[in-house]
Structure 1
Amino acid sequence: MPSAPQTVPLSGHPSLFRGVFLTVGPAVVTFLVVRALNQPLATAIMLSILIGSLALLVRLLINFEMRLHAVETLQQTGSEEMRHLVGTAFSEISEATELFGLIEASAVQTDLVTQLVRNSTRITPSSPPIVYQFVQSKIKEMSDFLKELAEGGAVTYYGEDREWLLGLTRNAAESIDAISLAAVDHDLWQSEIGRRYLDAQRQVARTGRRVRRIFVLDRPEAEHDPALRRVYDEQRRMLIDVRLLDRSAVPGPLQIQVRDLIVFDDAVAYETTPTTSDPEQAQVAETRLVLTTSRVKECAQLFRELWDISRDLGDSPFAPDSI
């Protein structure tokens, strides 16, 4: 059943009680004082009404002043909040405009960046948590990658990379110059990533772009290894210029510089570091992508010097032909 309405006592409204008291109180006091002076009853009533009315008027004026002050304070607060909101909105618009201007001025295609942003908005917090977190981590990873390349000119991937290798090979516009160490590439050409890498180089070479490779031999007798001979002949048939280089034939000043690297278009250096010098045990410890101009020039110069002192394997049982 619905509960009976509750009556709120007058004491629950202190402002109303106080207003009644301040209006009636002076009138009553005036009435008593006038009567105590033996004045007529009509005079006492008139003075009481007059004093009570004045008290009520004063009370109303005070309340009006307080409310007016409250309204002014509220208006001032609202104005400040509005100015803050408008300022923030204009700041965000200005920042967005500046960002879009930077995108248009950059070398990256604007539609690709726009597509990235548009597609990323399709992943929302309502998506499965693992998908949401994974996308967040990939976007951060890409952001950090671009930041490191832009600021430092180099970025390091700990372990064996494949995305950079295949992407750079497929997009090489002029040339690919590679130095292959046995400690890094001993199992590469039979692996899945190695076959994809080699196929990408084959397609580049078929279009007339230059592809060269130096196989660095730790021992002179390694050139008689049948596996090396097969790799050598296979790559020659793919129109890849291949040479061999005995490490012992490398001049002393260059010995310490010999390393596994690839130079793309004389603009980007791709370096890998093995975990050990033992070809049978070595794995890729880290991969570095370098865009620093001075460093890339050093890598390109190193390749040219090693290329000049390297040699062909000799007459191959397979004559190189176009594929």
Structure 2
Amino acid sequence: MRIPPVLLKTLVTVVVATIAYVTTNLINQDQNKLWQLAVSIVIGGATLIVQYMVDFERRLASVETGQQAYAREVADRLTGHHREMRTLVDRRFTDISEATELFDTLDHSMLRLDGVTRLARSATRVSSLGPGLVSAFAREEIDRLASVMENLTTMSADCPGENHDWLMALTKCTTGTMDATSSFVERNYWDSEPALRYLQAQAEAIAQRGVKVRRLFIVQKPEGVDPALLRLCEDQRNMGIDTRVVALSELPPNVRRGTTNDFVIFDETLCYEVEPDLLHENAKTTLNAREDHLRQRVKRFRELWDVGLSDT
């Protein structure tokens, strides 16, 4: 059982006073009893005062220790907050510096700055809609576009399947020439809706920008030059596209060897190439602007074009 502090102090004072009274009585038994009682009370009071002083000192030391600990804690918090704020400010200034540098680079590049600004603002508006399918789709599209841009820095980019959007965009950007091959794998393509839009874009490039378009149709054997192919060639010639047909089996051995993948060379600067799989389905699309690859594709097209027939 714990004794209350006040009771304990009282008991100590009484005990000390009693001992003092007994001691003074033993030392001089002839003294006045009142004097002995007074001495005992004074000693007991002094004892009580000393106890309170010791208790006060202990509490004061405890308060000082607590204040020092609190001061250290506040100082640590302020130091940590200052460090976080400085890091945050440095990061923001770094972001601002990077953004300024980026826009300065864009301003001196051949890219349209207004398009990049529209993309950034639109992406910000979409992200403000909060989590959801629209925001997730926007993030995927931005990541896809960023990946294409990063790949183009190496002068090459690819994607699964056939990318008709790339084909249309390149047709709209072309200012000089389009040299294209169309193999037997693509025969069904020309009856599709994307093919109609592609031909319309080529017709506009011919009429508005004077682009010269040549298309070489490739078949396995002469028997592949059927009436449907002849009508297709005539329709495209009527649109201003120069067409020829070549049969692989009739090619000289030195020309027969080489790629027969469908490709389009834009302004002799970039090659759009489609790679088929074993089922003759378009499995992969590649954009390649590397000089050695372009040289090979230009050379291959010229070889095939020179032996092709313009009037079958």
Q: TM-score, normalised by structure 2?
A: 0.80
Identity %: 25
Structure 1 residue runs of 5 or longer lacking an equivalent are 1-16, 315-323
Structure 1 pair 122–59 and aligned structure 2 pair: CA distance change class (3 A): same
1:249 & 1:45 partners in 2: Cα distance?
128
Q: Please state which structure has a larger fraction of its residues in helix.
A: 2
Is 2:142 the counterpart of 1:139? Answer: yes
Amino acid at match of 1:177: D
Supply the AA of the counterpart residue of 1:208. Answer: G
Displacement of 1:194 in angstroms is: 0.7
Q: What residue in structure 1 maps to residue 152 of structure 2?
A: 149
Could you say if the C-alpha distance between residues 122 and 203 of structure 1 is closer, same or farther in structure 2, counting changes exceeding 3 Å? same
2:239 corresponds in structure 1 to: 238
2:16–2:43 Cα contact (<8 Å) kept: no
1:199 Cα offset (Å): 0.9
The one of 280, 283, 299 equivalent to 2:281 is 283
> How far off its partner does 1:34 sit?
4.7
Alignment equivalent of 1:259, drawn from 261, 277, 281: 261
SS of aligned partner of 2:304: helix
Match of 1:75 in 2: 75
Alignment deviations for residues 269-304 of structure 1 (CA, whole Å, 9 cap, x no partner): 111123457xxxx43222222233322232222222
Any residues of structure 2 matched to 1:189-200 within 5 Å, and which?
189-200=190-201
Q: Offset at 1:41? A: 0.8
Q: Aligned residue for 1:175?
A: 177
Aligned to 2:298: 300
Q: 2:274·2:284 contact (CA, 8 Å) conserved in 1?
A: yes
d(CA) in 1 for partners of 2:67 and 2:296? 79
Contact 2:16 2:47 in 1 (8 A): no
Query: Aligned partners of 2:121, 2:305: CA distance in 1, in Å?
Result: 47
Residues 276 and 68 of structure 1: CA distance in aligned 2, closer, same or farther (over 3 Å): closer
Deviations 1:168-214 (A, max 9, x none): 1111122211111121x202222111111111111111221221111
- Specify the code of the residue in structure 1 equivalent to 2:63: N
In the alignment of these two chains, the number of paired residues is 289
Contact 1:177-1:211 at 8 Å conserved across structures: yes
Per the alignment, residue 30 of structure 2 pairs with none
- Structure with greater Cα Rg: 2
Q: Alignment RMSD, CA only?
A: 2.9
Q: Structure 2: which 5+ residue stretches go unaligned? A: 22-38
Normalising by structure 1, we get a TM-score of: 0.78
- 1:27 positional shift: 7.4
Instruction: Please tell me whether the aligned partners of residues 148 and 155 of structure 1 are also in contact (alpha carbons under 8 angstroms).
Output: yes
Q: Tell me, in whole angstroms, the C-alpha distance in 2 between the residues paired with 1:96 and 1:164.
A: 33
SS of 1:104's partner is helix
Alpha-carbon offset, residue 96 of structure 1: 4.1
